[in-house]
Amino acid sequence: MSEPDSVVVGGGIVGASIAFGLARTGERVVLLDEGDVAFRASRGNFALVWVQSKGLGLPPYAAWTQRSAGEWHELARILQDETGIDVAHSQPGGFTLCLSQKEVDARLAKLEQFHNLPGVAHFPYEILDHDEVKKRLPEIGSKVVGAVYSPLDGHANPLLLMRALHSYLATKGGEYRPAHAVHTIDRQTDGFRLRGTWGELRTAKLILAAGLGNVHLAPMVGLEAPVKPSRGQLIVTEKTAPFLHNPMVTIRQTNEGGVLIGDSKEEAGFENVTGTGVLSVMAQRAIDMFPRLRHLNVVRTWSALRVMSPDGFPIYDQTSSGPPAFVTSCHSGVTLAGVHAMTLGPALSKSARLPEVLAAFSPKRFHVPAHQ
């Protein structure tokens, strides 16, 4: 492929989902990726497709998330049909289990605050007491005081998702190129010239989706992505017979049988390490929620770095003149894979503009004087 129609930089879930959408409309896409050695949230995450709790503080985010949860079904179906890979997507409804009345009250207050906002996209949810949770999840422990349940929540397998997205690209004539870190980008009148130790590549349209790498790449094309790492630690147990159909916000049984226990939120810069202090608190809470977990062996623990903007919401932006370049950075890339693949990618292909609904996500929202 000499000069592709578009180049996406970053082959994690976000870049690969957008590349899916571009390729599906017939564009010749090259996906340049630093590869497995990079910081990569996409291979270390908890993989919820999660709706409850999304959007407080930025109502368009709630609508964008709900739309994505809806579009996930079609994305999973296409990936299965065209690549033969089942990404283990399901939407059985999800629970946030609470271990004290204070936790229940805090959740309830946030949900009420959210649903009272004008123009907000409401989502269905229930607040459940211990007995009601026990009816639906008979294995919960006595320390569970209550839960929030939403039928829109689900989960998937993030590694299979990434593999399927890369495979889909190949079926459409696109190319995934690992070990292709982009070091410099020159903006020219009719396009962009990208360079790395691998050589150089030109394109008329550029999408930056390099996770934490966007911080350095975006300014090269006049954009910005002020994201920082937020560490999350996870535990996975040995495989066990299926007992947990629904995902919880910090516990889910994967399609392969292991139980994932997640996931801390820590300000630790780029220190991508685990520590028994945090892991033991996570494990104890999980055992309080499902006492049977105490009998399972832990087979692995790890940490990964979230791609976090200053307010926690996604960043989408585009150049206002010259050849089109876009930047996308987000914290919930698994959840948003549906809308990135089915809505954003096709929009960037057809109109080379961001959909109007994404105007609220411009990083200009961070340009406020300090006293405000």
Query: What is the nearest approach in angstroms of ligand FAD to the Cβ of residue 131?
Result: 28
Q: Is residue 260 a contact point for ligand FAD (CB under 6 A)? A: no
By three-state DSSP, how is residue 137 classified? coil
Residue with tokens 């999980």: 286
Instruction: Tell me the CA distances in angstroms from 153 to 21, 166, 257, one per residue in order.
Output: 23, 25, 19
Task: Considering the complex, state which of residue 41 and residue 111 has its C-beta at the smaller distance from ligand FAD.
Answer: 41
Question: Please, which residues bridge with residue 29 across strands?
Answer: 6
**Are 92 and 155 a contacting pair, CB within 8 Å?**
no
Minimal distance in Å, beta carbon 314 to ligand FAD? 9
Q: Cβ of residue 298: shortest distance to ligand FAD, in angstroms?
A: 16
Map residues 59-98 to x or -, x wherever contact with ligand FAD holds by CB under 6 A: ----------------------------------------
Residues 6+ apart with CB under 8 A from 286: 235, 250, 251, 259, 261, 293
- If one asks whether residue 324 binds ligand FAD (CB under 6 A), the answer comes out as no
Q: Near ligand FAD by CB under 6 A, which window of 68-76, 209-217, 236-244, 271-279? A: 209-217
Give dist(CA 226, CA 308) in Å, integer. 8
Rule CB under 6 A: choose which of 263, 324, 344, 348 binds ligand FAD: 263
Least Å distance, CB 39 to ligand FAD, is 6
Of residues 277 through 306, those in contact with ligand FAD by CB under 6 A are: 304-306
Select from 34-42, 87-95, 117-125, 164-172 the region that touches ligand FAD (CB under 6 A): 34-42
> Contact, 24 vs 172, CB < 8 A?
yes
CA distance 162 to 306: 16
Q: How many amino acids of this chain bind ligand FAD (CB under 6 A)?
A: 42
Distance between CA atoms of residues 252 and 268, nearest Å:
25
3-state secondary structure at position 305: strand
Residue 246 within binding range of ligand FAD, rule CB under 6 A: no
* Interaction between residue 332 and ligand FAD (CB under 6 A): yes
Determine, following the binding rule CB under 6 A, whether residue 40 of this chain makes contact with ligand FAD: yes
Contact call for residues 326 and 208 (beta carbons, < 8 A)? yes
Q: What are the distances in angstroms from CA 44 to CA 128, 230, 264, 273?
A: 31, 12, 12, 12
List interacting residues with ligand FAD (CB under 6 A).
9-15, 32-35, 38-42, 44-48, 50, 181-182, 209-211, 213, 217, 232, 234, 263, 304-307, 330-335
